Each structure stands twice: as structure tokens, then as C-alpha cells.
Amino acid sequence: MFNPSSSNRRFVLNPAPPPPDFVPTEQTWPPRSIRSDGSNAHQVVEKLIGSRKDLTVEGGFQVIAAKLTRAENVDLLTQLLDLQKAITTRLAEQKEARLSGLKEEHEAARQKARSWLEKCRKMREDLNSFESTLNALKMSASEARANFAAVRESAPKVEDYPSPEEIETWRSRMAEAETIAAGEEERSRTAELDRQQRAKNLIEALKNFQASEQAEAVLRFTLEGREYQNELGLTVTPEI
């Protein structure tokens, strides 16, 4: 599991609907887990096999310069210093260009993550509100069923010698109660299916949010040069 420093945020997704009081927030930030795109795989290998790190450009030139300390090499040393300056300048320009590109990517990723966050919040709020509507519909259906049962049990008794009109009136009442109960049942069933779809859509939105926050976190950590632990528990230093 990825475990960036000072992070305690994680979304656990499962087929079950999110709890009614769940709303994504930004109170715990950055996200706990960061998925690597493999760009730092060589660092992982180095840490596993104990390989030495590559020399920096400055370090490489220092090694060469140390070999040119004799007076007869002063001309080469001058050329070396000029070459070092040219290379350092070129690399700095290229790094600045990469930084500029990364900043644009990060801003786009940040906006995308925020968009999904706001969408998840809205969907969660709507689902909570719909839960109340569904509960009301279920209550109405239950009352309609109880009323139908009561009307059915109120059938005229033979020993009371009911008139044809009384029997017909009872049958009309029962037919009406049955129609109402069937309608309420259908409304409740349709609403339940709607709730299940809303919950499913929210879970999918949370997955998209998780993916977008991971992308944003990787770019942010890279720009900040912050280390994080990969799924192997090894510390990785982002490179630009």
C-alpha cells in the first residue's frame, strides 16, 4: 500500500451503498495512497539490490576535473568548465520546461479532482434526501396494505344477513383499497430501484474521484520533490 507522509485519507470502495452520513471532505489531506505510474521503477530496483545511485552532473564533472589537476591539462580543464556551464544551462532550461508542463498537468488534475469531489458530495446529499423520500413511500405502502387488510376483514357477516347493497358497497371499498395498495407498492418498488441505481452511481463516482485524487497527488508530490512510500514500502523520490 502506498503511504505518503502525514496522510490519513483513504476511500474503501465496496458494492454496498455508502453510509447515509458519508460525504467526501478535504479535512484529511493529502490522500493516503498514491499509485505509481512506474516512472521511478529504477529507484525501487536500486533499493532492492543495493545499487549505487548515479552521479549528479556536478559530481561527474568534479570527478573529471580531479583527473585534470596537472598544469599541462589546464587547457582541457578550461574546456571542461565551459562544457559544464553549457550542459548545466541546457539541463536547467529543460527542467524549467518540464516543470512548466507538470504545473499545467497538476492544475488540470487538481480541477478534475475537485470537480469529482463536488459531484460526489452533491450525489451523496441527493441520495440522503432521496432516502427520506423512499422511507415515506415505504410507510405509505405499508399503511395502504394495512388498510386493504382491514377492509377485507370487514366483510359483512352472513349471520348478520347483509343486504346486496351492503355486500356491493364492501366489494367496492375493497377493490378501491386494493388498487391504492397496489399503486403504493409500485411507487415504493420503483423508488427502491432508483435508490439502488443512485447508490451505484455514487460508488462509480467515488472510484473516479479516487483515481483523480491519486493523479493529482502524484503530480503534487513530484512538483514538491516530496518522498513517498510505494506499494513495496520503499521510499521513492520523484524526479523531474
| Residue 110 in grid coordinates | 487538481
Higher pLDDT, 124 or 58: 124
- CA 64/CA 20 separation, integer angstroms: 66
What value does the mean pLDDT take over residues 28-47? 53
Higher pLDDT, 197 or 23: 197
Q: Is 18 helix (H, G, I), strand (E, B) or coil?
A: coil
Q: Is residue 130's pLDDT more than 50?
A: yes
Cβ neighbours of residue 220 under 8 Å, at least 6 residues apart?
Answer: 30, 106, 110
The reported pLDDT for the residue numbered 48 is 54
- CA 174/CA 155 separation, integer angstroms: 9
The answer to whether residues 43 and 237 touch, using CB atoms and an 8 Å cutoff, is yes
Q: Is residue 40's pLDDT more than 60?
A: no
User: Predicted confidence band at 64 (pLDDT cuts at 50, 70, 90)?
Assistant: confident
φ and ψ at 229, to 5 degrees? -95, 135
The reported pLDDT for the residue numbered 66 is 87
What value does the mean pLDDT take over residues 223-240? 78
The reported pLDDT for the residue numbered 1 is 37
- 132-138 LR contacts (CB < 8 Å, sep 24+): 133/191, 134/188, 134/191, 134/192, 134/194, 134/195, 137/184, 137/187, 137/188, 137/191, 138/188
Model's pTM, two decimal places? 0.66
User: Predicted confidence band at 62 (pLDDT cuts at 50, 70, 90)?
Assistant: confident
The reported pLDDT for the residue numbered 184 is 97
| Beta strand 235-236 pairing with 228-229 | antiparallel
| Percent of the chain's residues with pLDDT above 70 | 76
Q: Is residue 234's pLDDT more than 90?
A: no
Q: Is residue 32's pLDDT more than 90?
A: no
Instruction: Find the distance separating the first CA and the last CA of the chain, reported in whole Å.
Output: 23
Q: Which residues of 19-49 are buried (b: 16+ CB within 10 A; e: fewer)?
A: eeebebeeeeebbbbbebeeebeebbeeeee
For the chain, the domains span 41-236
The reported pLDDT for the residue numbered 108 is 96
- CA 204/CA 78 separation, integer angstroms: 62
Cβ neighbours of residue 212 under 8 Å, at least 6 residues apart?
Answer: 109, 112, 113, 115, 116
**Residue 95: its H or E element:** helix 74-153
Per-chain mean pLDDT for the chain: 82
| Residue 101 in grid coordinates | 508542463
Residue carrying the nine cell digits 378501491: 176
Q: What is the second-level CATH architecture of the domain 41-236? A: Orthogonal Bundle (1.10)
Higher pLDDT, 175 or 5: 175
